[in-house]
Amino acid sequence: MEIGQAQLGTRRHAPAHDVSTTAREIPVEVWVPGADNGLDVVAQKSGGPASADRDVQVAFENGRRVLEYVRTEYGRSSFDGKGSPLKLRVHAPDPMTNDPRSNNAFWFNDEQRIWLGDGDGEMFAPLGGGADVIAHEFFHGVIDSEIRLAYSGQSGALHESFSDVLASGIDGNWQIGEDVYTPGVAGDALRDLSKLTWTDWRTFPGGEDEVHAMSEVPSHAAYLIGSKLGAKELRHLWYVALTDHLRSESGFAGARDATISAARAIYGARSTQTQAVMDAWAAVGIDATTPTERPLVPPTAAVAAASTSVAALVPPLVR
């Protein structure tokens, strides 16, 4: 079944989505740090001249590509559904260490900008070179615009997972970061939604990086559903679940309920597609008996404060 735009985001935010706005009409701005730690400056923007900086040029074009992907795939106009500019910060230092060769990318909700590190050349190439990396951070902005999932525990894992799943279609595979991760190693990726390394999510030890590692659980459920329904149908189902059914306090059980509700709304309660959603969640250990939970590990005050504004591609790397 092909899911049309009219079925996407039908309850809460569809009136704000101006799907007639094209990606080219939504401005893209690429910022860089100013000299001597001065104020950031715009290095390239829509309607202006191209920058001489190749990393700026690549990030700008990938930003445009993300906006077009989101418009055609989900019928959405920018991260907020209202056509707001997409702002990228290239050559962004690590916000914790100020390392200019940051191996990370971030969505900063307070700024409503995506920070893109240059990488150290070993773990990452410049992260603006990955369209799916920009798309992943963009969908953190979508999630913050829609429901403001807490960025800790299971809710934080869903923040990461939904961003991965919804971004994955831009490259037409189940991988995230393959174009910029370990540039000296061919064929690998930062994350692969088709792989699940945790055999039992209940025994996960927790820790500061839990949102990224635990995101494998819902992401693999999505992969299993996509294997049955098709990847495009899966992504549309996940988008409807996000915009119409998921709640800000949802954990894994809540995500299961939201995606089942979305499947019932789209395909019918007794459809094979809805059963496929149930089966996929059961395959990763989430079923009707799973309790509705708060995050597994209560965040520290510092993590809780950061979770309100920052979502990262990988756990913070402090060297």
Q: What's the whole-number mean pLDDT along residues 8-26?
A: 49
Q: What's the whole-number mean pLDDT along residues 213-231?
A: 96
Residue 319 lies in a domain: no
Residue 200 lies in a domain: yes
Q: Could you tell me what percent of the chain has a pLDDT over 90? A: 71
User: What residues make up the domain containing 293?
Assistant: 5-312
**Residue 210 falls in the annotated catalytic set:** no
* pLDDT for 278: 98
Total structural domains within the chain: 1
Band (271; pLDDT cuts 50, 70, 90): very high
- Pairing label, strands 105-108, 310-312: antiparallel
Report the candidate in 131, 149, 27 with the shortest Cα–Cα distance to residue 73. Answer: 131
Residue from 29, 137, 160, 210 carrying the catalytic annotation: 137
* pLDDT for 153: 86
pLDDT digits (tens, 9 = 90+) for 148-161: 898 888 999 999 99
269: Cβ contacts below 8 Å, ≥ 6 apart: none
Two tokens at 13?
A: 């935010």
**Residue 236 falls in the annotated catalytic set:** no
**Are 204 and 198 within 8 A, CB to CB?**
yes
Tell whether the model's pLDDT for residue 195 goes beyond 90: yes
93 exposed, middle or buried (CB, 10 Å; 0-12, 13-18, 19+)? middle
Across the beta sheet with 41-45, the strand order is: 41-45, 28-32, 86-90, 113-116, 105-108, 310-312
* pLDDT for 302: 38
In three-state form (DSSP H/G/I as H, E/B as E, the rest C), the secondary structure along 79-97 is CCCCCCCEEEEECCCCCCC
Residue 61 lies in a domain: yes
Report the candidate in 228, 262, 231 with the shortest Cα–Cα distance to residue 245. Answer: 262
CATH number of the domain enclosing 242: 1.10.390.10
Residue from 91, 140, 159, 212 carrying the catalytic annotation: 212
DSSP bridge pairs for 28: 86
Query: Which range has the worst mean pLDDT, 10-14, 151-155, 172-176, 205-209?
Result: 10-14
Residue 318 lies in a domain: no
* pLDDT for 95: 84
What's this model's pTM, rounded to 2 decimal places?
A: 0.87
The position carrying tokens 């025994």 is: 203
Eight-state DSSP code of residue 168: G
